[in-house]
Each structure stands twice: as C-alpha cells, then as structure tokens.
C-alpha cells in the first residue's frame, strides 16, 4: 500500500515537472521585433528604399515611402543596425532585442557630401592690384585649390569704375581668362568666385587695375607674335606700346588712314582673311570684306592700300584688283591681269589717278612692278625680268617715288618655302627711271623687308631679320640721306607702319 502511494506521488511530480518544462518553452520563444524610421538629417524628410541590415545578420529589408521598416522574429541579442542609401552617408545604430518585445531605432542620414570642404579662397595674380595696362585686353590669372580634389569652376566679376556696369563671365574651368576689348582710360575692379558645386561659393578679395589713357597719338604701328597669333600694337616716339588687337585672334598688316582716324588690317578666319577697320585706340572693330576676300599665292605676302582722304580700300584677289568702301559696300573690280599673273601688292594714289601693282607667279617669282591709271591703262613699268622675290610696295605722297624690297641674290626656291637670301630696300625715281638702294649698313645674312615711308618721307621704317626665315624680326628706321643712320625701334616686331 505504501509503495503504491509513493508511486502515485512520484508520477505526479514527474508530470508536474514535464508541464513546467513545457510552459517554459512556450513562454520564452527567444525572438523579438525590430522597427525603425529613416529620415534625412536637418529636415527630417522620410527616406524610402533605404537598405536595412544587421550585425549579426538577420533579414534584410527596405524602408517604405514613410521611411519605416520592420524586422519580425529576430533572435534576442545585441545588434548593430545599418542604414544605407546612395548619396547619403551610411549610418549605424546599436540596439538590444529582447524576447517577446519590439525595439525601435531612428536614423538621421547625412548627405554624402556633408563632410566635404569648400575650395580655398582664390588668390588674384594678374593684373596686379593697381596695375596700369597698356592695351585693351586683360589676361586674368588666379590660383585656387580644393582640399577634396573636387572639380572647380569659376566666375569672373568685372566692374567698370566709370559706370559701375558689372560683367559676369561664368563656368570658367581654367585659372586664366582673357577679356577684350576694355575701355581705355577706365579703372576696373575684379573678383573671382570659386565653387565646387557642393559648398557655398568662395569669393576672392577685390583687385583693381586701370587701362591707360587713349593712345590715339601713337604714330607707329607694328605686329608682334604672341602664342602663335599675330597681334597689332601702336607705339609713340618714346617706345611706349599699346596692344590694339586681341591675342586670341590673328591680326596683321595694319595701315592707318590719318584723315579717317582709323586703322585697317587683315584678320584671319580659318584659311581666309578679311579686311577689318578699327579706331586708333583699338575700339569699334568692323569687318569690311565678305563675298570677295583678299587672296593670293601666300596670305602673309599680300597687301592692301587705303589712300589718304579716301573711303575706298584696294585689295588683290588672285589676278584681280578690287576696291570696297570702308562701310563694306560698293565692291568693285578695278583691274585684271592679262597674262593670269597674280596681284600680290598694291599702293594707290587716288587723287593722282595712279595705282602701283606688284604681280608674280604662283610661286611668288617672275615679279613685275608697274603703274596703271584707274581705268587700267598701263602708265609705267618699274621692275621686270629680274629673278628673285620682291615685296613691300609703297608710293610716296608726291607720287614721284616708289619703294620696295628686292632679293638681289636672285634666288628662287623651288620647294615653295619662298626664302630670300639678300633682300634690300630700293627707291625708284619716276622722273629719272633710276633705282637707288637705301639698305644702308644691312648686316650680312639678313633681309630688309616691308619698307614704309615716314610721314615727312625723309626716313624709312622697315623690318630686318635673318635670312634663315625663322629668326626674330625687328623694326628699324633709317634716314634716306644718311647712310649711317640704321636705328632699332622695336624688337620682336614686323609689319610696320608710320603715319
């Protein structure tokens, strides 16, 4: 009996123990839940499609349109929760998952550039503060950098001190920029603004410069090559220079007309050249030619003429001579060679009804220099049957003399390089028919080229250079009646004019 009682008690105890174990397994499932919200930092805008992962790993989920997410039945424990979205910085939050409970996390994501640093303050290099420019073109140079190596762009603000007009040149990608034309006699103020398109733009200090007063009294004109382009300058007797044309264009062969107060010149556009005019200070540049342009065997060897007190400019186009009004109207064919030879140079005395021409073949040789009247009738032959190159045609104001350069070596280059070995200056007297050399003290191995009479015709201005065809060119002058008067005027210069 006692044994049965013991058996019953043990059985009950065992059943109770089993029931207790079973209840513990049901109540303690070992999982909880994780919910959360992801917003952008600063404005709390909900962010959708944010990738949510955990460490240790669990289910990967994405936020909905309200920036919310939920992970159910995640095992209890310590977790690092990661929120990841393109263009935002990845964020981490720690949380504890407890059995049967829901944990909540909130992410505020910073945009990925939140730690990006702005560019350095631009440093202005040129023009220097309070510099006086001797031209109507300014080459602005500055320096700036970005600590994160972001691509920078710049804005140049240029204020005219006379009228406070502000010019803005935007989206500049280099640290140099050229502005032309500027207004003479004007003080300008300039500033550079740098941006990385992430941070607020950064502005430089403000610097000032001034464009020198009007150089309209400068009597000398010449050309200088700057970075592959020919650029026209004017200068006075003291050698003070003023740049008249933009160094980003190719401009050459300037000719001043005193009565008109203008300068005519050639400017290239691709493989063609046009005649332009401008004021003596380089302003109001105007293209004159259009349908028919100057042309010939060599664009750098052809010339044009603008007679004094005339509104017509004369220029060659292969074997034809044309005139055109300075307003671009009235294009007229004046003359055509009878043998097909090419007209390269012209010098016109409109008041005296005389035109001097230099013609040559396609290679620049078989030169003839002669005069015609306005109807095309031959007046006088000056040079013919002479081997070698000739150039630089210039009638005197009295029409009693004509000047030119001629290669006395007689060399004719079959390669097409048009090289000259001993070019000298000559003045031909119409009344006597005598040619006189005036290349006094010309150094051996050099060429005298591009002669022009001085305003009083007592002197000559011209170009001298080595006959190698690649050396620097310089502008000199000589006194016609003084064979010991060769004087250097301008270095690294050519295409002179003196009115």
Q: CATH number, domain at 134?
A: 2.60.40.10
The CA–CA distances, whole Å, from 167 to 23, 130, 244, 467 equal: 84, 19, 21, 47
Residues 424 and 338 in one domain: yes
Residue 26 — very low, low, confident or very high, per pLDDT cuts 50/70/90? very low
Residues 274 and 190 in one domain: no
20 inside domain:
no
Within 98-182, strands assigned E span 102-109, 123-126, 131-133, 138-143, 153-160, 166-172, 176-179
141 inside domain:
yes
pLDDT of residue 1 exceeding 80: no
Residues 362 and 313 in one domain: yes
Between β-strands 153-160 and 166-172, what pairing exists: parallel, antiparallel or unpaired?
A: antiparallel
Residues 315 and 440 in one domain: yes
Residues 387 and 294 in one domain: yes
Q: Are 391 and 376 in contact (CB under 8 A)?
A: no
Instruction: Give the distance, in angstroms, between the CA of residue 72 and the centroid of all CA atoms in the same chain.
Output: 65
pLDDT of residue 183 exceeding 90: no
Residues 306 and 421 in one domain: yes
Residues 300 and 252 in one domain: yes
Domain boundary among 77, 109, 141: 109
pLDDT of residue 414 exceeding 90: no
152 inside domain:
yes
What is the domain-level CATH number for residue 445? 2.120.10.30
Q: Compute the mean pLDDT over every residue in the chain, rounded to the nearest whole number.
A: 91
Answer yes or no: pTM beyond 0.75.
no
Domain boundary among 211, 238, 268: 211
Q: Are 168 and 143 in contact (CB under 8 A)?
A: no
16 inside domain:
no
Q: Are 172 and 145 in contact (CB under 8 A)?
A: no
410 inside domain:
yes
Residues 280 and 427 in one domain: yes
Residues 450 and 478 in one domain: yes
Residues 152 and 69 in one domain: no
Q: What's the helix, strand, coil split of the chain in %, to 5?
A: 5, 50, 45
Domain of 348? 220-498
The two three-digit tokens of residue 282, written as one number? 């380089």
Between β-strands 102-109 and 31-40, what pairing exists: parallel, antiparallel or unpaired?
A: parallel
The CA–CA distances, whole Å, from 22 to 3, 18, 35, 101 equal: 29, 6, 30, 21
Residues 150 and 272 in one domain: no
Which residues are CB-contacts of 257 (< 8 A; sequence separation ≥ 6)? 263, 264, 306, 308, 310, 499
Average the pLDDT over 230-234 and give the result. 95
Domain boundary among 211, 236, 253: 211
Residue 19's pLDDT is 45
Residue 17's pLDDT is 42
The CA–CA distances, whole Å, from 334 to 197, 321, 322, 472 equal: 60, 5, 5, 37
Residues 148 and 93 in one domain: no
Query: 10 Å Cβ neighbour count for 58?
Result: 20
Q: How many domains would you assign to the chain?
A: 3
């Amino acid at each position: 009996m006692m044994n049965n009682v013991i058996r019953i008690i043990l059985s009950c105890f065992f059943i109770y123990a089993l029931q207790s174990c079973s209840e513990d397994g049901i109540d303690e499932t070992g999982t909880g839940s994780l919910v959360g919200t992801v917003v952008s930092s600063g404005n709390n805008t909900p962010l959708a499609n944010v990738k949510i992962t955990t460490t240790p790993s669990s289910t990967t989920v994405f936020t909905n349109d309200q920036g919310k997410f939920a992970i159910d039945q995640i095992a209890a424990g310590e977790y690092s929760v990661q929120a990841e979205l393109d263009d935002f910085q990845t964020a981490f939050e720690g949380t504890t998952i407890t059995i049967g409970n829901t944990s909540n996390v909130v992410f505020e994501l910073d945009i990925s550039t939140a730690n990006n640093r702005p560019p350095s303050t631009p440093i202005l290099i040129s023009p220097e503060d309070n510099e006086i420019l001797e031209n109507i073109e300014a080459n602005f140079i500055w320096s700036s950098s970005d600590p994160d190596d972001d691509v920078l762009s710049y804005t140049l603000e240029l204020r005219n001190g006379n009228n406070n007009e502000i010019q803005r040149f935007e989206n500049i990608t280099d640290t140099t920029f050229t502005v032309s034309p500027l207004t003479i006699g004007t003080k300008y103020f300039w500033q550079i603004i740098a941006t990385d398109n992430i941070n607020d733009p950064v502005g430089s200090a403000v610097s000032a410069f001034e464009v020198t007063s009007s150089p309209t009294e400068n009597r000398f004109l010449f050309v200088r090559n700057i970075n592959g382009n020919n650029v026209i300058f004017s200068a006075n007797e003291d050698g003070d220079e003023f740049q008249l044309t933009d160094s980003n264009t190719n401009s050459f062969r300037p000719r001043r007309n005193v009565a008109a107060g203008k300068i005519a010149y050639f400017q290239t556009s691709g493989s063609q050249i046009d005649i332009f005019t401008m004021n003596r200070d380089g302003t109001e540049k105007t293209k004159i030619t259009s349908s028919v342009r100057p042309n010939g065997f060599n664009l750098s060897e052809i010339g044009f003429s603008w007679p004094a007190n005339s509104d017509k400019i004369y220029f060659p186009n292969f074997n034809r001579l044309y005139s055109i009004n300075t307003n671009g109207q009235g294009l007229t064919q004046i003359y055509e060679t009878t043998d097909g030879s090419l007209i390269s140079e012209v010098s016109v005395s409109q008041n005296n009804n005389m035109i001097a021409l230099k013609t040559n073949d396609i290679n620049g040789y078989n030169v003839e220099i002669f005069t015609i009247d306005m109807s095309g009738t031959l007046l006088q032959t000056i040079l013919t049957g002479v081997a070698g190159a000739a150039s630089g045609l210039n009638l005197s104001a009295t029409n009693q003399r004509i000047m030119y350069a001629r290669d006395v070596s007689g060399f004719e280059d079959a390669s097409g390089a048009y090289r000259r070995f001993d070019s000298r200056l000559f003045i031909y007297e119409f009344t006597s028919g005598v040619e006189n050399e005036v290349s006094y003290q010309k150094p051996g191995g050099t060429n005298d080229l591009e002669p022009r009479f001085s305003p009083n015709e007592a002197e000559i201005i011209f170009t001298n250079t080595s006959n190698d065809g690649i050396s620097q060119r310089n502008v000199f002058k000589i006194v016609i009646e003084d064979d010991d008067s060769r004087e250097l005027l301008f270095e690294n210069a050519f295409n002179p004019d003196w009115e």
